[in-house]
Amino acid sequence: MAVDMKGKDLISIHDLSREEVDQILDTTHILKMKQKLGEIYHPLKGKTMGMIFQKSSTRTRVSFEVGMWQLGGYALFLSANDLQLNRGETIADTARNLSRYLDGIMIRTFSHQDVVDLAEYSSVPVINGLTDLLHPCQVLSDLFSIREKKQNLEGLKLAYIGDGNNMAHSLMFGGAKTGMHVVICSPSGFEPDPEVTRLSRLDASKTGATITIQDDPVEAVKTADVIYTDVWTSMGQEEEYEKRLQSFKRYQVNNTLLENATEDVLVMHCLPAHRGEEITNEVIDGPRSIVFDQAENRLHVQKAIMALVM
């Protein structure tokens, strides 16, 4: 391996070097080929990973649990009700205890600071399975999916249409690290976090990428190689649902919008999709969509991450 990542936390793509991102993507390719060929590969035999879920999930739980099993290890599901966190035990004490039992921890939660604190006090690698700020495992899977289809990442243009949320933030970091131009197209008041924008532009200055924030979806998708969208109302924002429907109605990814893009544009969505809101059935099920390819690649990328850090 070109880069030794053993023991490293994966909290944000911003924390990774370009070489480490490439290492994850290259390892993913190898592990995906092994799995497709039916080859047994157990680098994590005898190891155990704890999976803390304070936010529910379909893809994150199944892909991590199956991936750990395919690597020869054991994944232990820990819901919020299974831990003492809800009864006042600190993140620091939870980290210290779990580190005595486990070889790695994956956490999917609301507060990003919880992941930062968990990693600070844990003596085993911590993987960010999602926070309200970032979703690095999803975006590393997206980068791999784009590279599979387009053969490279550098110089491509990705247009993200929708809320400036955790997906937008991690796509900005992912594009910046790999030399991909990222346009975040959000309505006024829903732009990405300014500090994430600043840091991603700092990363982009080293790779030749550009990070652009704008509000015109038609302009955003012109010359785009990839169009990406996500739900308008994320978990925990349900009380804003009606307001967001009105704010985002111009931002639906539909056939009319795709008429402004190139013929070979890829359409992506991290799922779950609210069909008929941010994306139409015709687009998500259409020939340009690679939505379910990227969902599958969560398994392969997370296997690579676990194999590299554990």
Q: Which residues are catalytic?
A: 108, 135, 138, 230, 270, 298
Q: Report which of 50, 47, 103 is spatially closest to residue 78, judged by C-alpha positions.
A: 50
- Virtual torsion, Cα 30, 145, 113, 176, nearest 10 deg: 100
Cis peptide upstream of residue 187 (ω within 30 degrees of 0) = no
CA-to-CA distance for 254 and 21, rounded, in angstroms? 32
187 and 119 Cβ atoms separated by less than 8 Å: no
H/E run at residue 266: strand 266-269
212 and 184 Cβ atoms separated by less than 8 Å: yes
SS3 68: helix
What is the 3-state composition of the chain as percent helix, strand, coil, each rounded to the nearest 5? Answer: 45, 15, 35
Output phi, psi for 59, to 5 deg: -70, -40
CA-to-CA distance for 181 and 76, rounded, in angstroms? 38
**Strands of 266-269's sheet in order across:** 211-214, 181-185, 157-161, 226-229, 266-269
CA-to-CA distance for 108 and 115, rounded, in angstroms? 8
Burial label for 254, CB within 10 Å (0-12, 13-18, 19+), is: middle
